[in-house]
């Protein structure tokens, strides 16, 4: 078994064409001279949306991928597990794919990897330490450990292929081990920030401003930069200030402390746990996503807390109330998250008692505010003292650069061309305007969509042909992408209900053997709509008879006639567009 595993690793290693260079000496970059081929840059996800960040750089017969993220479904995508990029272009050009390079370990940058590997052979994945650990854990969950090699990189590493040279610069973000990636190509240098901000009092490493400035002096052809906070003026507040403010609430709290935060905000989780240790509070962790991330950061040494400080929920009554801290999911009011269940008195072990302090260390994402307020109201009703983020009480900050930090980045890198990424359209547009206000010509800003190719060629940039870049909906284990039709039908059902039209046909005589029946569910109250149903039956009868009297009646034609005749009638009468399902019974078949 062990030999078999070694053979698999050996065979995978043989496929790797990316070379690790010995040092990080930055030679003088070659000026952009004549290149036979353009360098193509495009996104399969991450543009005009927040999520599924997947960016590709292609030159001749080589493609490298920067990040492969997932996007979580919104309220309209009923029953969908996840949304991933359309990888069909990479499937068709699989022989060109040389490797996947990861900027950091957030799900919107690594969550698509298992789905990518099920379709595309990626010889190697290079990732920072924490991201690599998270990727290995996820590949194990999907039983894909033998599909690729995951290698860790550090800031001073340099990698090269036939056409590309890749280097790294530390950036500040809400997770340790976050890096921007520099790619030297035959048509000039490209820099992708990943997610970043400039935090002058960081909880982790400092941003490598010196290296960014050096690359800027050498020349950046194309900058691809995080646009999440493009509409936010000023600077993003530093994480250390947030922890200091939370520390004040720890000091004031006389009873138990319950903290809800994003599982993705690893720096915050680390330092909240360290605060609990500082105040001798035992730590209870509730919520699968937080449990997973804490387990991994402890395994790789990013959190050095005595095991005795962590206790199970059923041990909570063994300690005084002022020696307990509960760290949980639910900062966005998610219905099934731990804090929401606690607020509804539905959690198996944790019950709010008077004197509990609940700290909401987050800000509601647009669309979630009503859910968050509902949770806060419920918690307050049952006796909790709820502390929320506000202008006077900053207990949350973003992990993304605001406008002044974005301007600093343009000043450091001095890019010739700019492609805003990682954001909704309005964010990309505003980021482009910020670039033009600093040092990028307006005509050199490319606000593009997923699938649009930017062609860098001999000092110029222009748009090329689009590549497929639709959103693929994961419905359970279905990765066909056909789930988009299913979502549409689910939305119709949730808003307008369903109408089943049952008809019985004698296929020997091509006549109706009985009057059609209509069954309505969730569309309108049938008992009070007898006239509508009667008229609907007449409409269906006439439509079906018209088809049956034609030269070649088919079941498909009958079904279409039912839908096309009934749908506009129901909308006129009831202002509803129910899902109409024709059911055809064949009398001849029944008699056999």
Q: Is 399 annotated as a binding residue?
A: yes
400 marked as part of a ligand binding site: yes
Residues listed for the chain: 592
Q: Tokens 């983020």 — which residue?
A: 389
Tell me the residue ranges of DSSP E strands in 186-319.
Answer: 188-192, 222-226, 257-261, 282-286
Which residues does residue 127 pair with via DSSP β-bridges, in sequence order?
Answer: 152
**Nearest Cα to Cα of residue 133 among 91, 175, 194, 95:** 175
Is 478 among the annotated ligand-binding positions?
A: no
**Binding site annotation covers 495?**
no
Distance CA 279, CA 247 (A): 10
Q: Tell me the β-bridge partners of 421.
A: 226
Instruction: Tell me which of 400, 452, 457, 496 is the catalytic residue.
Output: 400
Asked whether residue 302 is marked as a ligand-binding residue, the answer is no
Closest CA to 76 of 408, 380, 493: 493
Known catalytic membership, residue 356: no
Confirm whether residue 475 is marked as ligand binding. Answer: yes
The H-or-E segment that residue 92 falls in is: helix 88-92
Q: Name 133's Cβ contacts closer than 8 Å, sequence gap at least 6.
A: 105, 296, 299, 300
Q: Are 128 and 171 in contact (CB under 8 A)?
A: no
Residue 92 CB neighbour total at 10 angstroms? 12
397 is in an annotated binding site: yes
Which of 86, 184, 226, 452 does the annotation list as catalytic?
Answer: 226
Q: What CA–CA distance (Å, rounded) separates 137 from 294? A: 13
Q: 3-state DSSP: the chain helix, strand, coil percent, rounded to 5?
A: 35, 25, 40
Per DSSP, the chain holds a count of helices (H) and strands (E) of: 17, 26
φ, ψ (nearest 5 deg) of residue 436: -65, -30
Q: Is 106 annotated as a binding residue?
A: yes
The answer to whether 514 is a known ligand-binding residue is no
Catalytic residue check, 226 = yes
Spatial distance between the Cα atoms of 227 and 582, rounded to a whole number of angstroms = 48
195 is in an annotated binding site: yes
The alpha helices in 316-475, defined as continuous H runs, are 338-343, 369-381, 403-413, 425-438
How many Å apart are CA 530 and CA 534, to the nearest integer?
6
DSSP class per residue in 217-236:
HH--SEEEEE-TTTT--S-P
* Apex 16 CA angle, 11 and 18, nearest 5: 165
Known binding residue 431? Answer is no
For residue 108, say whether it is annotated as part of any ligand binding site. yes
> Would you say 410 and 384 are in contact if contact means Cβ atoms under 8 Å apart?
no
How many other CB atoms sit within 10 Å of the CB of residue 263?
A: 22
79 annotated as ligand-binding: yes
173 labeled binding residue: yes
Known binding residue 104? Answer is yes
* Binding site residue list for substrate: 263-265, 396-400
The residues carrying an active-site annotation are 226, 400
Query: Which residue ranges are tagged as binding site?
Result: 79, 104, 106, 108-109, 173, 195, 263-265, 396-400, 422, 475
- As annotated, the binding site for Zn(2+) includes 79, 104, 106, 108-109, 173, 195, 422
Which residue ranges make up the annotated binding site for Ca(2+)?
Answer: 475
């Amino acid at each position: 078994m062990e030999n078999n595993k070694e053979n698999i690793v050996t065979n995978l290693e043989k496929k790797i064409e990316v070379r690790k260079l010995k040092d990080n000496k930055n030679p003088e970059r070659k000026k952009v001279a004549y290149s036979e081929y353009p360098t193509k840059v495009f996104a399969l996800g991450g543009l005009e949306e927040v999520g599924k960040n997947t960016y590709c750089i292609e030159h001749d017969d080589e493609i490298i991928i920067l990040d492969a993220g997932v996007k979580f479904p919104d309220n309209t995508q009923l029953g969908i597990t996840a949304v991933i990029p359309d990888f069909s272009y990479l499937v068709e050009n699989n022989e060109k794919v040389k490797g996947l390079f990861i900027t950091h370990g957030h799900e919107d940058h690594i969550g698509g990897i298992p789905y990518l590997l099920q379709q595309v052979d990626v010889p190697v994945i290079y990732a920072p330490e924490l991201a690599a650990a998270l990727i290995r854990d996820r590949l194990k969950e999907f039983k894909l450990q033998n599909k690729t090699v995951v290698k860790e990189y550090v800031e001073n590493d340099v990698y090269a292929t036939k056409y590309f040279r890749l280097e790294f610069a530390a950036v500040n973000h809400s997770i340790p081990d976050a890096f921007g990636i520099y790619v030297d190509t035959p048509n000039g240098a490209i820099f992708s920030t990943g997610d970043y901000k400039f935090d002058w009092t960081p909880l982790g490493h400092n941003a490598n401003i010196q290296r960014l400035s050096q690359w800027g002096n050498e020349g950046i052809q194309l900058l691809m930069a995080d646009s999440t906070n493009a509409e936010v003026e000023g600077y993003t507040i530093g994480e250390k200030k947030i922890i200091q403010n939370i520390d004040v609430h720890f000091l004031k709290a006389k009873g138990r402390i319950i903290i809800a935060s994003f599982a993705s905000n690893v720096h915050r989780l680390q330092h909240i746990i360290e605060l609990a240790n500082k105040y001798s509070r035992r730590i209870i962790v509730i919520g699968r996503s937080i449990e997973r991330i804490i387990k991994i950061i402890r395994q790789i040494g990013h959190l050095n807390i005595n095991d005795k400080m962590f206790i199970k929920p059923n041990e909570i009554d063994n300690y005084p109330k002022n020696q307990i801290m509960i760290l949980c999911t639910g900062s966005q009011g998610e219905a099934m998250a731990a804090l929401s269940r606690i607020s509804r008195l539905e959690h198996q072990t944790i019950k709010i008692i008077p004197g509990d302090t609940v700290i909401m260390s987050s800000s509601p994402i647009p669309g979630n505010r009503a859910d968050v307020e509902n949770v806060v109201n419920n918690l307050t009703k049952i006796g909790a003292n709820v502390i929320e983020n506000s202008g006077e009480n900053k207990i949350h900050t973003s992990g993304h650069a605001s406008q002044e930090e974005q301007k600093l980045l343009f000043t450091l890198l001095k890019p010739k061309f700019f492609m805003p990424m990682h954001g909704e359209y309005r964010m990309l547009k505003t980021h482009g305007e910020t670039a033009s206000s600093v040092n990028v010509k307006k005509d050199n800003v490319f606000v593009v969509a997923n699938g649009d190719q930017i062609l860098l060629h001999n000092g110029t940039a222009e748009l090329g042909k689009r590549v497929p870049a639709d959103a693929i909906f994961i419905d359970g284990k279905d990765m066909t992408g056909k789930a988009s039709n299913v979502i549409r039908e689910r939305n119709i059902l949730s808003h307008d209900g369903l109408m089943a039209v049952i008809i019985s046909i004698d296929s020997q005589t091509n006549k109706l053997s009985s009057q059609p029946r209509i069954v309505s569910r969730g569309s309108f109250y049938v008992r009070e709509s007898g006239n509508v149903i009667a008229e609907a039956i007449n409409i269906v009868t006439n439509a079906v008879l018209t088809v049956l009297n034609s030269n070649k009646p088919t079941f498909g034609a009958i079904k279409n006639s039912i839908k096309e005749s009934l749908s506009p009638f129901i909308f006129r009468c009831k202002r509803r567009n129910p899902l109409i399902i024709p059911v055809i019974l064949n009398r001849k078949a029944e008699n056999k």
